Amino acid sequence: MKQIVFITGKQAKLQELLRNLEGNVSGNLIERETIDDVLALLSLVRDIDLIITPEQLPKEGSVAAKLSEFLISSDLQIPLLISGENAQASEGIHVIPPSQLTVEHLTDKIETLLGGHVDSSGKKIETTTYHPLPLSYLYYVKTLPCHIYKKVSDKPSYNVLIRIDQDLSKELLDTVGKEYKEVFVPREYHPNLINNITNSMTAHFSAAGLTLENRLKANSSLYTILKKEINLFGINHSISYLVELVFQSVLEGAMEVFDKEGLQQYAQKISESTTTFAYKIVHLNALYACYLMTKLVREFVEYQIIVGYLAFFSDIALPDRYLKIRSTEMLKALGNIPADEDATIREHALRASRIIGEYRQAPTGVANLIKKHHGANDGIGFPDKLPDDVNKIIMVFFITETMTHAMLAQGVPYLTKEVIDSVAPKFDGPNQQKIIKVLHSIC
Ligand SMILES: [Fe+2]
């Protein structure tokens, strides 16, 4: 969906023209009254496709000259469409005579400039497609890259719900949220919206005085967003920055714990935070697995990063409602579920490894470890028992994950001797027992 700014200078004739254009052109029309209003908008939103303006405004003189100068100095390549008897066309500046300021002429001119097209019968083709997203995404954005839309009942058409320049206050979103949980964004602007979320959250994270509880809450919400996005689109360019932001936030805290008191206190803060179950499992796994690495290997930093990846991505392809399924018995206990859901659960390790395989930041070999994180070499299903000769990183991660699931299931805020003893019999191999012994030492 194209964004078109129309400077009316509060002139009734131009305002009426703008209203009549709405619905005729395949773009959003944004009214602005003065040059300053436009400059303020451009400082927030740079994805403007066209600016329409009279050559002169009564109080401001030559609008076109001032705007053109600003666009060049700001390195913005936005075409101008100027109306004026003496307006001069040049590169990036198009002219429409005042006599042609009619809906028909102006629509034709806009469509030509913006590449809109018509079918063989002369009917205009609407090429915009819309991507649904939860309204909750907008709580993490300061500015919008485009209007946000609502779907019109059962029809394949969409109306503006939140305008690009509206203040995204909590009050506004709460009000909208009473009626709409799902909103729509033109597909071409979806990456920009994800970028805006990342930018505002980067600023949020770097602000001084962010409490651990607030950091955990932000991480948890962003993890929900990135998991959904990754499962729809993979780790594409727009989501990769957000992934990195949250991953680093999780890992930094986990890697900074070296004593058992600090470890258990941190675990308790995560367990008791107002975050999702999926996020708690991720962060607790990263925390305990990183700590185990400090006790099991000499040069542990590299291993901590790898178990951090396992904690973050192993179940990225497993829907949250199935996160507790960790064995063939538990899968069977679900009863008859659709074949595609069954495959999603059984193949989640394989699917996660394919996703991470396309993430350039991931260390070599991580995709393979994620594929085997339940002990199956092909990444499918749940073997009954973890072999004692499995890769040590997988062993540490798998035992940690089994422990944290048991811990949350038993309603305990950190690993206790009772929790460890309740699952330790599953891990009777000599190598596995060494890890259990280290875990016992933290209680
Ligand atoms: Fe898993």
Domain annotation covers residue 229: yes
Cα(401) to ligand 1 centroid in Å equals: 9
Domain annotation covers residue 121: no
Cα distance between residue 98 and residue 113, in whole Å? 18
Domain annotation covers residue 176: yes
Domain carrying residue 236: 209-440
Count how many Cα atoms sit within 13 Å of the Cα of residue 31 in the half-sphere of its side chain: 15
Cα(354) to ligand 1 centroid in Å equals: 14
State whether 84 and 148 are in the same domain: no
Residue 159 · residue 153 · CB < 8 Å: no
Domain annotation covers residue 306: yes
Q: What is the pLDDT of residue 374?
A: 94
- CATH code: domain of residue 80: 3.40.50.2300
**Nearest CA to 261 among 131, 402, 415, 98?**
415
- In 274-339 the beta strands, taken as DSSP E runs, fall at none
Q: What is the pLDDT of residue 417?
A: 96
pLDDT in tens, the chain (443 residues): 778 999 988 888 888 888 888 767 777 888 888 888 888 888 877 788 899 999 888 777 888 888 888 888 888 888 899 998 888 888 788 889 888 888 888 888 888 888 655 445 555 555 567 889 999 999 999 889 888 999 877 666 788 899 888 899 999 999 999 999 999 998 888 989 999 999 988 888 888 788 999 999 999 999 999 999 999 889 988 899 999 999 999 999 899 888 999 999 999 999 999 999 999 999 999 999 999 999 999 999 999 999 999 999 999 999 999 999 999 999 999 998 999 999 999 999 999 999 999 898 999 999 999 999 999 999 999 988 888 889 999 999 999 999 999 999 999 999 999 999 999 999 999 999 999 999 999 98
Domain annotation covers residue 198: no
Q: What is the pLDDT of residue 126?
A: 52
Q: How far is CA 8 from the centre of its chain?
A: 36
Cα distance between residue 266 and residue 384, in whole Å? 32
Cα distance between residue 3 and residue 1, in whole Å? 7
State whether 10 and 104 are in the same domain: yes
352 Cβ contact partners less than 8 Å away, ≥ 6 residues apart? 313, 314, 315, 316, 317, 318, 370, 371, 373
Final residue in a domain of this structure, among 59, 81, 114:
114
Cα(264) to ligand 1 centroid in Å equals: 24
Cα(375) to ligand 1 centroid in Å equals: 10
State whether 289 and 424 are in the same domain: yes
Q: How far is CA 322 from the centre of its chain?
A: 21
Helices (H), 124-187: 170-179
State whether 140 and 107 are in the same domain: no
Q: How far is CA 221 from the centre of its chain?
A: 10
Amino acid identity of residue 357, one-letter, is G
Domain annotation covers residue 201: no
Number of domains in the chain: 3
Q: What is the pLDDT of residue 215?
A: 92
Domain annotation covers residue 195: no
Using the structure block, give the residue that is written with the tokens 């101008």: 80
State whether 162 and 47 are in the same domain: no
State whether 142 and 91 are in the same domain: no
Cα(349) to ligand 1 centroid in Å equals: 6
Q: What is the pLDDT of residue 114?
A: 81
